[in-house]
Amino acid sequence: MGIERVTADVYRIGMGYVSAYLIAQEAVTVIDTGLPKHREIILEAASKAGRKADEVKHILLTHHHADHTGSLAELLAATSAKAYIHPLDAPIVRGEKPAPGPNRDVLAGRVLGPLMARITPTLQPIEALEETNDGDEVPAAGGLKAIHTPGHTAGHLSFVWPQNGGVLFAGDAAGNVLSGPRPPVGALGGMFTEDVAAAKESFRRLAELEFEVACFGHGGPIKGKAHTAFRQKVEKLAK
Ligand SMILES: [Zn+2]
Ligand SMILES: [Zn+2]
């Protein structure tokens, strides 16, 4: 845990069960902001990469969940960064729409959901968000491609960075907590997934892409031949 270098320019910022990421290039790009009150470790990662807070120019959000947008307000306050999110998740981060609760179709969502919903922090609404759609090239780190991967949330985005061998930032469209990459469905992983069928389809879509390295919201990164691990999982799920 803590700060881990994944590739030459990509750093993983571990915050307990969830990770944020940072790409240190001419400017600094942060992918997800993790839990609330974790700005310091994000800025520490920037400093490890030899960068200052005012060099953080872009914040890419994979989805609205509070463990991925938790330190957004604090990070925006300390930097001149622009934040990017899909238009379907943006109204939740802006506070215009409540976050959907745990998925009642999933057993864990029924049992643990009310407790989880109670301990989920309420975040300060953020007005200043740039909206990003499927296929857009976000002007960060020389260009990151946004891929709409709905299911976990309606506006979930994954990002593919073509440098350093090709790096996928999967957010929660895939997790790597147990044995290899998997879609965010099933007993525990699916508790906050809004649409299970769409989440499985998005995982299949990710497996069709080319990327050597994969970074996840939950679980450690895969540092080589990551797309092969995704394809093997898709084949297994199809059986
Ligand atoms: Zn999530
Ligand atoms: Zn998550």
Per-residue pLDDT of the chain (239 residues), as tens digits, is 699 999 999 999 999 999 999 999 989 999 999 999 999 999 999 999 999 999 999 999 999 999 999 999 999 999 999 999 999 999 999 999 988 878 877 777 777 777 776 667 778 999 999 999 999 999 999 999 999 999 999 999 999 999 999 999 999 999 999 889 999 997 666 888 999 999 999 999 999 999 999 999 999 999 999 999 999 999 999 88
- Cα 162 to ligand 1 centroid, rounded to whole Å: 24
Tell me, in angstroms, the distance from the centre of ligand 1 to residue 192's CA: 6
Going from the Cα of 50 to the center of ligand 1, the distance in angstroms, rounded, reads 30
What is the predicted pLDDT for the residue at 44? Answer: 97
Among 204, 196, 211, residue whose Cα is nearest residue 231: 204
Nearest ligand to the CA of 217 is: 2
Q: Which residues surround ligand 1, an ion (CB under 5 A)?
A: 65, 172
Q: For residue 53, report the distance from its CA to the centre of ligand 1, in Å.
A: 26
Q: How far is the CA of 165 from the centre of ligand 2 (A)?
A: 25
As a whole number of angstroms, the distance between CA 70 and CA 38 comes to: 8
Q: State the pTM of this model.
A: 0.95
* Ligand nearest to C-alpha 103: 1
**What's the gap in Å between 113 CA and the centre of ligand 2?**
15
Q: How far apart are CA 31 and CA 11, in angstroms?
A: 10
* pLDDT value for 108: 72
Q: Ligand nearest 218 Cα, by number?
A: 2
Q: How many CA atoms lie within 13 A of 194 on its CB side?
A: 19
Residue 239's pLDDT is: 83
User: Looking at the CA of 177, which ligand is closest?
Assistant: 2
How many angstroms separate the CA atoms of 194 and 17, rounded?
Answer: 20
Tokens of 151: 């299911």
Assign a CATH topology to domain 3-238: Metallo-beta-lactamase; Chain A (3.60.15)
**Residue whose C-alpha is closest to residue 145's, from 129, 162, 128:** 162
Ligand nearest to the CA of 175: 2
Q: 80 C-alpha vs ligand 2 centroid, how far in Å?
A: 25
- 65 CA to middle of ligand 2, Å? 7
Q: Which ligand is nearest to the CA of 192?
A: 1
Q: How many CA atoms lie within 13 A of 214 on its CB side?
A: 31
- Ligand 1 center from residue 109 Cα (angstroms): 13
- pLDDT for res 146: 98
Closest ligand to the CA of 155: 1
Q: What distance in angstroms lies between residue 122's CA and the mean position of ligand 2's atoms? A: 16
